[in-house]
C-alpha cells in the first residue's frame, strides 16, 4: 500500500503545472463560458500548443501522437489540467471518441482521423443522446438506412455538449430494427458539415453549451462506420471504461476550494474575516475532507485501470458518485457562505469571486451529464453489490402494465 | 500509488479473520457484555499467542517488528468481529513505553506486554476534557501529580478509561506543572493497579464495553514509575494518540464493512411481496450508502495509517480520517439498520446492533469530530493562495456571457434572432 507518487511523477506534475502557469494569461477563464471568438481562438491555439508539448494526449501511443505515458502519469496530467481550470475544446473527442477509433477502427480510419485530433486541431462532438434516448441509450430512434456505399441518416440528437464548430460527430444510429434494440445500433464518426445536418442551440441554466442536432437525409459514406455493423452499442459501452478524467474533476474542485479559502481570508463580514466565523471554518474543513476523499477514490480508479490485467474489471467505482455528491456539496456550501450576495451574476461591482460560485451553483442543480447519479447507483447496486434486478426482458410488459395504471 | 496490501498483510488479514470467525462469534461478544470483566481470559490467551500485542513492538522485546500499517490491518479485523478485550489499550500503552520508556522499563515491561501478561490501560480522558472536547489536548489534563520526597502523589478523576478495571497497570497522564509555567507540564506514570487509593469502577455504556471511572485518591507512586521525562510527557503521548485515533478508525472500517455484508445479504435473501427486498431501489439506496460510508472511510484511514507507518507527518490525514470516519461509521450502521429493520433491532440476538453500539464508543474515543475539524480549519488558514498564471492578461473574459459574441454560427444566429435549423 502506498499513497504517494514517485519522484519522476512529481517532476512531471511540476513540469505541467509550470507549463500552464507560463502559457496561460493572468485573467484566464475568469468568467466562465468560452463562447466568444476571442476566447475560442485562444483556447484552440492553446490546445494545439499543449498538444505540441505532448501533454494533450500523453497516454496515447507515440505512433498516434502521444507520449506513451502510463496511467498514473495520465492521471497526473488530467489532475493538473483540472487544477489549472482548463476544459479542452476537444475533451470529448479525445477521451470518449478516440478510444473507440483505437479499439474498433481500421488502420485506415486511425490514420485518417487520429493525427489531426491528436494535434488538437479538431473538435468532435459526442452525439449519443436523443429526446427518447438518454439514460436508455439503446433506445436510439435516429435511423441509418444503408443505400449502396452510403448510409442515409434521419433523426435528432439533443443535449449535445459543444460550443465550438465541430469537425466530426461521434454518434450512434439505428441500422436494424429486427433484433433487441441494443443489437441494432451502429457507431459512426460523421463529418459535421455534411448536407442535411443542422444545429440548434440549447442554452442551459448551468451555462454549459448544448445543442440539438438534426439529421435530414444525410448521406454518410460507409468509411465513416466505426467497428462492426449493429455492434455500435457494445463498442460505445466498451469505451466508457476508458473514461478516466475523474482526477480532472477532483483537481478542478481542489483549485476552487483553494481560491475560496483565499477569499474567506480576505473578505470581511461584521468586521472580521469570513474565516473567523466558526460555521465557515467547519464547512471549509468538511470540504477539505471531501476533496481528499474524492482524490483518493479517483486515484484508486486510475490505479486499478492501470492494473486491470491483473485485477480484472472494477466491481464498483465511486469516483462518479464523489463528483456528483461533492460538486453539489461544495457549490451549495460556498453559496451558503456568500448568502444573498452569492446570487449576483458576473459583471457587477457587487459580484463575489467574479461570479464563479454563482455559476457553479447553477451548474450543480443537476449533474446528470455523463450519467445520472441514479444510473451510477444502479450500476453499483447490480455490478458492485450483486443486488437483484428485474430482468430487462420483462420491461415491455411492466411498461404496458404501468400505462394501464395511468388510466 | 498502490491500493493493495502486501502479501504479508494479506496473510495477516486472512489468518486473523479466520481465527476470529471461529474464536469470536456473536455468542462470545454477547458473553463479554454480560461478564463483569468484559472479556474472556481464554480468548485473551489465544490473542496473545497470535502475537497481536507485540505486532508493532521490536523483536528484541518479544514483538514481531511489524509496522503501524500492519496494526491497522489487524484492528480492521478486530472491528469486523467486535472482538472484546483490552487489546487496544495494551497496544497503545506498549507503543508509549517503546517511545518514552527507559531501557530498564522497556526490557522488563515490553516482553510482558507482548506476551499478554501485562494488561495496561491508558488513563487520559477526564470528565471535563470529555465534555469540553479537549480530551486529546494537554489543556484537558487536570489530574495532579505532586512530588513528595522520593514519590509522587496523584489526585483526581479520570473518566471513560477503557479496561482500567482489569488492568495490571494504569498509564496515567497527569499534570505536574501548571501550563502557565511553559511547556506542556504533563508527566506519564505507570501506576500499579493495586495501589492503595486507586479505584476503578466500570460504567454501563451503550456498547457495554465498560469504560471506567478511575479515581486517584492520594495514590503514591515511586519515581521509577515515571515514563519519559517529567513535565514533557505529552510529546511521546501525542504520537501514540495519533496512532490510536487511526486504529479506532480501522476498527470502524472493519465494522462498517461487516455492516455492508449484513445489509446486502439480508437484501438478497429476505423475501416480501414474492421477491427479495433488495430489488427495491430504496433498499438498494441504503446498501449503496453503507458502501459509500465504508469505502470513503477506508481510504482516508489507510492513507493516514500508511503515512504514520512511513514516519511521515500525518496530522492532517489523521484528522481527516477521524473526523470523517466518526460520522461515516454511524451513518453506515444506520443505513444497514434500515435494511435489516426489525431483525437488526432485537437486543438479545443479531449482530448488527453490536456494530452500531460499539461504534458510539469508537467514534468518541481519542478525539471527537469537531475537535479534528477545527484542527483542519487551523491548518487551512495557512494555505497559500493558489499561484495564478503569469501570462499577459487578454481582457476578454470579463465580458458577461450574454454580451459575448458567440464564435459558432448557430449560436450567433440565435443571438441575432435567426434560425438555421
pLDDT digits (tens, 9 = 90+) for B152-166: 999 999 999 999 999
Instruction: For residue B320, give every residue at least 6 positions away whose Cβ sits within 8 Å of its Cβ, in sequence order, or none.
Output: A288, A289, A292, B300, B304, B372, B376
CA distance linking residue A64 with residue B395, whole number of Å: 36
CA-based nearest distance B274→chain A, Å: 13
Say if the Cβ atoms of A198 and B420 lie within 8 Å: yes
Residue A96 cell numbers, joined: 470518449
Residue B242: closest CA among B342, B92, B370? B92
Select from B41, B212, B396, B19 the least CA-distant residue to A38: B396
Residues B264, A385 contacting (CB under 8 angstroms): yes
Rounded to whole angstroms, the Cα distance separating B87 from B108 reads 19
- Chain A interface, best mutation among B296, B308, B417, by max A CB count within 10 A: B296
Residues of B in contact with A350 (CB under 8 A): none
Residues of chain A with CATH 2.40.110.10: 124-238
Please tell me the class of the B7-118 domain. mainly alpha
Rg value, chain A, Cα: 22
The DSSP letter of residue B343 is G
Average pLDDT (A321-337) is 96
Q: Beta-carbon neighbour count of residue A106 at 10 Å? A: 13
Task: Look at residue A367 in the predicted model and tell me its pLDDT.
Answer: 86
Domain ranges within chain B, ordered by starting residue: 7-118, 122-232, 235-380
The ipTM assigned to this model is 0.96
Range in A48-52, A392-396, B103-107, B386-390 with the lowest mean pLDDT = A392-396
**A314 contact residues in B (CB cutoff 8 A):** none
Q: A104 near A228, Cβ under 8 Å? A: yes
Cβ contact A341:A305 at 8 Å: no
Chain centroid to Cα B368, Å, comes to 10
Q: How confident is the model at residue A37 (pLDDT cuts 50, 70, 90)?
A: confident
Neighbouring C-alpha atoms within 13 Å toward the C-beta of A135: 10
Fold of B235-380: Butyryl-CoA Dehydrogenase, subunit A; domain 3 (1.20.140)
Task: Give yes or no for residue B182 having a pLDDT over 70.
Answer: no
Helix B315-340, helix A278-306: angle, nearest 10: 80
- Alpha carbon distance B75, A380 (integer Å): 27
Optimal mutation site among A12, A25, A198, A294, interface B, most CBs of chain B within 10 A: A25
Which site among B381, B401, B406, B417 would you substitute to test the A interface, given the most A Cβ atoms closer than 10 Å to its Cβ? B401
Percent of chain A with pLDDT over 90: 81
Are A388 and B278 in contact (CB < 8 Å)? Answer: yes
pLDDT score for A286: 98
pLDDT band at A206 (very low <50, low <70, confident <90, very high): confident
Q: In chain B, what percentage of residues exceed pLDDT 70?
A: 99
Distance of CA A201 to the CA centre of its chain: 19
User: Which among B3, B323, B400 is the nearest to A300, CB-wise?
Assistant: B3
- Residues B196-250: tens digit of each pLDDT: 999 999 999 999 999 999 999 999 999 999 999 999 999 999 999 999 999 999 9
Cα dihedral B261, B266, B267, B271, rounded to 10, equals 160
Alpha carbon separation from A363 to A305, B41, B284 (Å, rounded): 29, 59, 27
pLDDT at position A378 is 93
pLDDT at B414: 86
Residue A31 has pLDDT above 70, yes or no: no
3-class DSSP assignment, residue A128: coil
Q: Please state which of the ranges A341-350, B55-64, B114-123, B367-376 shows the lowest mean pLDDT.
A: A341-350
Which three cell numbers, joined as nine digits, stand for B342?
426489525
Nearest-Cα residue of chain A relative to residue B376? A285
Contact residues for B19 (Cβ-Cβ < 8 A; gap 6+): B46, B50
Minimal Cα–Cα distance from B314 to chain A, Å?
Answer: 12
Alpha-carbon gap: A392 to the closest alpha carbon of chain B (Å): 13
Name the least confident of A364-378, B2-16, B402-416: B402-416
Which CATH class for the A124-238 domain? Answer: mainly beta
Query: What is residue A227's predicted lDDT score, i.e. its pLDDT?
Result: 97
- Nearest CA-CA distance, residue A387 and chain B, Å: 6
Q: What residues 148-187 of chain A have any CB closer than 8 A to a CB of chain B?
A: 163-165
CATH 1.10.540.10 domain extents, chain A: 7-89
Interhelix angle B315-340/B281-309, rounded to 10 degrees, is 150
What's the pLDDT band for B95 if we cut at 50, 70, 90? very high
Of the candidates A284, A347, A295, the one whose C-alpha atom is nearest the C-alpha of residue A318 is: A295
Interchain CB contact of A72 with B (< 8 Å): yes
Angle at A188 between CA A183 and CA A191, to 5 degrees: 160
Classified by CATH at the fold level, domain A244-371 comes out as Butyryl-CoA Dehydrogenase, subunit A; domain 3 (1.20.140)
pLDDT in tens, B295-315: 999 999 999 999 999 999 999
For the whole prediction, is pTM greater than 0.90?
yes
Phi then psi for residue B147, to 5 deg, are -70, 140
pLDDT tens digits, residue range B215-228?
Answer: 999 999 999 999 99
Mean pLDDT of chain B: 96
Tell me how far the alpha carbon of residue B291 is from its chain's centroid: 19
Instruction: Quote the minimal CA–CA distance from B416 to chain A in Å.
Output: 12
Least confident of A96-100, A278-282, A325-329: A96-100
Half-sphere exposure of B54 (CA within 13 A, CB side): 23
* pLDDT-derived band at B29, boundaries 50, 70, 90: very high
Angle between helices A278-306 and B369-380 (to 10 degrees): 90
In this structure, CATH architecture of domain A7-89 = Orthogonal Bundle (1.10)
Domain B122-232 class, CATH top level:
mainly beta
Alpha helices in A119-209 (DSSP H): none
Amino acid at each position: 500500500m502506498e499513497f504517494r507518487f514517485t519522484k519522476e511523477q512529481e517532476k512531471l506534475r511540476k513540469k505541467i503545472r509550470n507549463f500552464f502557469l507560463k502559457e496561460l494569461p493572468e485573467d484566464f477563464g475568469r468568467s466562465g463560458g468560452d463562447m466568444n471568438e476571442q476566447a475560442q481562438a485562444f483556447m484552440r491555439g492553446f490546445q494545439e500548443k499543449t498538444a505540441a508539448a505532448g501533454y494533450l494526449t500523453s497516454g496515447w501511443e507515440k505512433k498516434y501522437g502521444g507520449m506513451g505515458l502510463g496511467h498514473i502519469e495520465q492521471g497526473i496530467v488530467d489532475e493538473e489540467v483540472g487544477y489549472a481550470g482548463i476544459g479542452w475544446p476537444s475533451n470529448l473527442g479525445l477521451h470518449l471518441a478516440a478510444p473507440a477509433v483505437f479499439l474498433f477502427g481500421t488502420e485506415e480510419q486511425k490514420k485518417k482521423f487520429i493525427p489531426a485530433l491528436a494535434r488538437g486541431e479538431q473538435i468532435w462532438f459526442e452525439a449519443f443522446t436523443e429526446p427518447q434516448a438518454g439514460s436508455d441509450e439503446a433506445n436510439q430512434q435516429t435511423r441509418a438506412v444503408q443505400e449502396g456505399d452510403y448510409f442515409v441518416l434521419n433523426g435528432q440528437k439533443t443535449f449535445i455538449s459543444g460550443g465550438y464548430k465541430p469537425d466530426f460527430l461521434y454518434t450512434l444510429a439505428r441500422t436494424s430494427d429486427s433484433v433487441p434494440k441494443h443489437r441494432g445500433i451502429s457507431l459512426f464518426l460523421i463529418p459535421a458539415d455534411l448536407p442535411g445536418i443542422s444545429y440548434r442551440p440549447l442554452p442551459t441554466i448551468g451555462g454549459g453549451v448544448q445543442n440539438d442536432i438534426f439529421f435530414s437525409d444525410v448521406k454518410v459514406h460507409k468509411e465513416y462506420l466505426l467497428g462492426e455493423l449493429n455492434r455500435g452499442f457494445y463498442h460505445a459501452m466498451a469505451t466508457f471504461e476508458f473514461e478516466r478524467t475523474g482526477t480532472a474533476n477532483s483537481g478542478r474542485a481542489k483549485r476552487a476550494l483553494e481560491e475560496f479559502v483565499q477569499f474567506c481570508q480576505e473578505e470581511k463580514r461584521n468586521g472580521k474575516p469570513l474565516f473567523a466565523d466558526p460555521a465557515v471554518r467547519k464547512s471549509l474543513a468538511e470540504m477539505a475532507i471531501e476533496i481528499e476523499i474524492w482524490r483518493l477514490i479517483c486515484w484508486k480508479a486510475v490505479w486499478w485501470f492501470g492494473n486491470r490485467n491483473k485485477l480484472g474489471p472494477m466491481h464498483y467505482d465511486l469516483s462518479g458518485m464523489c463528483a456528483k455528491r461533492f460538486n453539489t456539496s461544495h457549490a451549495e456550501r460556498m453559496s451558503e457562505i456568500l448568502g444573498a450576495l452569492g446570487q449576483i451574476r458576473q459583471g457587477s461591482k457587487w459580484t463575489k469571486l467574479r461570479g464563479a460560485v454563482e455559476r457553479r451553483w447553477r451548474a450543480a442543480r443537476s449533474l446528470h451529464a455523463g450519467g445520472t447519479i441514479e444510473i451510477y447507483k444502479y450500476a453499483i447496486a447490480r455490478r458492485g453489490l450483486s443486488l437483484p434486478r428485474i430482468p430487462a426482458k420483462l420491461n415491455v410488459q411492466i411498461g404496458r402494465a404501468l400505462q394501464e395504471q395511468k388510466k | 500509488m498502490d491500493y493493495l496490501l502486501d502479501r504479508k498483510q494479506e496473510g495477516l488479514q486472512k489468518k486473523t479473520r479466520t481465527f476470529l470467525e471461529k474464536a469470536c462469534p456473536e455468542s462470545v461478544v454477547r458473553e463479554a457484555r454480560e461478564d463483569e470483566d468484559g472479556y474472556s481470559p481464554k480468548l485473551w490467551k489465544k490473542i496473545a499467542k497470535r502475537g497481536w500485542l507485540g505486532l508493532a513492538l521490536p523483536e528484541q522485546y518479544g514483538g514481531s517488528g511489524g509496522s503501524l500499517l500492519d496494526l491497522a490491518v489487524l484492528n480492521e479485523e478486530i472491528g469486523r468481529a467486535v472482538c472484546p478485550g483490552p487489546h487496544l489499550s495494551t497496544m497503545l500503552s506498549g507503543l508509549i513505553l517503546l517511545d518514552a520508556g527507559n531501557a530498564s522499563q522497556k526490557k522488563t515491561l515490553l516482553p510482558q506486554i507482548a506476551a499478554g501478561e501485562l494488561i495496561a490501560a491508558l488513563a487520559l480522558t477526564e470528565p471535563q476534557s470529555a465534555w469540553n472536547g479537549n480530551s486529546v489536548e494537554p489543556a484537558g489534563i487536570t489530574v495532579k501529580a505532586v512530588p513528595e520526597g522520593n514519590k509522587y502523589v496523584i489526585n483526581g478523576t479520570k473518566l471513560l478509561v477503557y479496561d482500567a478495571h482489569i488492568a495490571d497497570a494504569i498509564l496515567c497522564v497527569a499534570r505536574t506543572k501548571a501550563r502557565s509555567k511553559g511547556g506542556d507540564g504533563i508527566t506519564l506514570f505507570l501506576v500499579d493497579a493495586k495501589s492503595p487509593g486507586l479505584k476503578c469502577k466500570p460504567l454501563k455504556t451503550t456498547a457495554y464495553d465498560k469504560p471506567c471511572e478511575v479515581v486517584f485518591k492520594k495514590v503514591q507512586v515511586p519515581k521509577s514509575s515515571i515514563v519519559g521525562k517529567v513535565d514533557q510527557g505529552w510529546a511521546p503521548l501525542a504520537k501514540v494518540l495519533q496512532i490510536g485515533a487511526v486504529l479506532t478508525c480501522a476498527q470502524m472500517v472493519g465494522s462498517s464493512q461487516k455492516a455492508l455484508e449484513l445489509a446486502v445479504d439480508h437484501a438478497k435473501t429476505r423475501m416480501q411481496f414474492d421477491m427479495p427486498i433488495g430489488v427495491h431501489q430504496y433498499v438498494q439506496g441504503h446498501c449503496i450508502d453503507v458502501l459509500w460510508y465504508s469505502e470513503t472511510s477506508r481510504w482516508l484511514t489507510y492513507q493516514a495509517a500508511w503515512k504514520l507507518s512511513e514516519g511521515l507527518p500525518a496530522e492532517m490525514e489523521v484528522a481527516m480520517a477521524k473526523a470523517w470516519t466518526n460520522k461515516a461509521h454511524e451513518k453506515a450502521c444506520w443505513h444497514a439498520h434500515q435494511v435489516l429493520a426489525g431483525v437488526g433491532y432485537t437486543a438479545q440476538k443479531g449482530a448488527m446492533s453490536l456494530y452500531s453500539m460499539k461504534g458510539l464508543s469508537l467514534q468518541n474515543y481519542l478525539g471527537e469530530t469537531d475537535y479534528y475539524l477545527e484542527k483542519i480549519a487551523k491548518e487551512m488558514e495557512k494555505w497559500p493562495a493558489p499561484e495564478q498564471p503569469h501570462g499577459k492578461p487578454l481582457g476578454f473574459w470579463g465580458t458577461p456571457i450574454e454580451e459575448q459574441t458567440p464564435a459558432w454560427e448557430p449560436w450567433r444566429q440565435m443571438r441575432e434572432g435567426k434560425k438555421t435549423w
